[in-house]
Chains A and B, each alone.
Chain A
Amino acid sequence: MRTLLEFEKPIADLELKLVELKKLAIDNDVDVSAAASSLEKSIASLKKETFSNLTRWQRVQLSRHPERPYTLDYIENICEEFIEVHGDRNVADDKAMVGGFGKIDGQTVMIIGQQKGRNTKQRQMRNFGMPNPEGYRKALRLMKMAEKFGKPIVTLIDTPGAFPGLEAEERGQGEAIARNIRDMFMLKVPVICIIIGEGASGGALGIAIGDRVLMLENTWYSVISPESCSSILWRSWDFKEQAAEALKLTANDMLGNGLVDGIIPEPLGGAHLNYGLATATVKKVILDTISELNKFSADERISQRIDKFTKMGVFQ
């Protein structure tokens, strides 16, 4: 059973009508081709109209669509082979953060990302994609391993935030994220970061310092979620739409403000409607970007990485 967002419903209704019409044609052996083709046209134009005029809040909803591809879906579709590795060598294996070496078109790449769950049980196991400190430490361990073996790094970002729990504080959530941010600047291998869903605050940034930071078309990336922003600035949960507008958190906004390097297009209607196309696009971008970054020496990449982030900010 498909999950439908409010603005997806009118399209789904028309699609259902089309199916019924075609069934009617077969059952009664009548020609409905004229009606069907006009219906198909309406569907296409409604889709185009809906998805070229999405509000920022609607993009946030798409980024959280329960059927959206997650990190392991990208890995499965992009890599010929993938060997997942586990643990931070210290406390635990954080299942909200996955990673390992994969082969993409014969090339070995380290892929790391936050992982959300698809059903209640998985969601619990993946802690809703909210890593604990050991998730960030595992990610850093894998990045340093990739550096050791001279393999490029791809991070896939999809998190509602680093986990705000009691044990997370005891084990130094702040320190873990801070260390990742600092140490990622000095990685000698190419680093590509892609926001594939939600990019919430420090929990996202903890694996998002790269030579290229890219956002999928229907994702968000900001310092706080619209809901939390609403609750703090408006002192109510009801202003999430206004908060989303104010935060300017979409891929277009972030690119326009020079805070990310590019946007990866999604299939019309969102990545969840066509995994094959969505993941193939991401695969091509990864391969193209790696070969582009390989033109530079490690030192050049590091100094460009530092220059890019240290230029961000507006002041007088």
Chain B
Amino acid sequence: MSWFTRKDKGILTPTESKREAPDGLWYQCPSCKKAMHTREHRLLAYTCSNCNYHEKIGSQEYFELLFDQTKYTELDAMLSSGDPLTFIDTKRYPDRIKATEKKTGLKDAVRAAHGKMNDVDIVIACMDFSFIGGSMGSVVGEKIARAIEYALQNKIPFLMISKSGGARMMEAGFSLMQMAKTSARLAQLAEAGIPYISLLTDPTTGGVTASYAMLGDFNISEPGALIGFAGPRVIRETIGKDLPKGFQSAEFVLEHGFLDFIVDRKDMKDKLASLLEMLK
């Protein structure tokens, strides 16, 4: 990856990048290699003006794109990880958390907020892949469960934006049970007749796919996103063959009947607001 992509460390550092962003910075599309101003890229909802490649973005960017005037109330913002198993692999788990907090400025791999989208009330929970691969531990499960509860109590539609490699291994059994916890709250939301839209973004795999991400009244995605239960590497090793082109892409998943539609990120806000309006 070259120095001017969003993945570059220097640019991801929140305060620095914003201050220096005016005109000097360039974004190069990793797909077609076209260079464009970061400002133009942002105006296009972080998609490429040439090939429409949808760059991976985090909760901050999605909240800015979807909430009216970027105004929202964050829910349970301070919740942070414990170390229930005193887990050590090559590193102590609490050290890994601390280092990741410092690097990303995030408390864990999901943020939840209440705001308005084209004047329609909505609760959005959005995952951040930059936090240990968007892995699902107790904090992720708890924040999502609480966001659903909040939507349930206030009768507000819920939008979940998933982006995850799956389980947080350092929380083992606790991580697994977050699939159950979030699905339990979604069962209650469904019984109450409150709309749930699940947006699966690039990439969504593992336990997240096998729980809340696939349980929307509407399961939707962005062009080209990778969506699957097992990761491509594991499947390749299991079947001992190369995978067909486009396997596990959003388009593939749509074709097999597990997505309702794929939406261009530039049209996302209007389309979702219209959909929710129809359900009123």
Contacts and interface: CB of A to CB of B under 8 A. Distances in A.
A170 B187 contact: no
A169 B172 contact: no
B75 to A, nearest CB: 14
B213 A182 contact: no
A169 B184 CA distance: 24
A298 interface: no
B169 interface: yes
B180 interface: yes
A178 B230 contact: no
Contacts of A246: 85, 87-89, 172
B235 A164 contact: yes
Contact of B214 (A178, A183, A224, A315): A178
Contact of A174 (B180, B188, B228, B243): B228
Contacts of B214: 172, 174-175, 178-179
B80 to A, nearest CB: 5
A202 interface: yes
A222 B173 contact: yes
Closest 4 A/B residue pairs (Cβ): A164-B230, A313-B138, A174-B209, A174-B229
Interface string A287-316: 000000000000000000110011011111
Interface residues of B, number: 59
A165 B235 contact: yes
Contacts of A182: 183-184, 186-187, 190, 215
B174 A169 contact: no
A314 B173 CA distance: 11
13 contacts: A164-B229, A171-B256, A172-B256, A175-B258, A178-B179, A178-B212, A178-B215, A179-B215, A181-B180, A205-B180, A246-B89, A313-B139, A316-B79
Contact of A168 (B87, B212, B230): B230
A234 interface: yes
A173 B229 contact: yes
Contacts of B80: 315-316
Given A205-B179, A233-B90, A306 B184 contact: yes
Contacts of B258: 172, 174-175
Contacts of B206: 202
B210 A206 contact: yes
B141 interface: yes
A313 B186 contact: no
B133 to A, nearest CB: 10
A135 to B, nearest CB: 13
Contacts of B171: 223, 314
Interface string B166-202: 0101011111111111011111101100000000000
Interface residues of A, number: 52
B1 interface: no
Contacts of A177: 210-211, 229
A67 B187 CA distance: 39
B247 interface: yes
A205 B180 CA distance: 8
Contacts of B238: 163-165
B52 interface: no
A309 B184 contact: yes
Interface stretch (A93-101, A104-112, A253-261): A253-261
B22 interface: no
A201 interface: yes
A170 B235 CA distance: 12
B247 A166 contact: yes
A77 to B, nearest CB: 29
Contact of B211 (A166, A178, A312, A314): A178
Nearest to A309: B180
A229 interface: yes
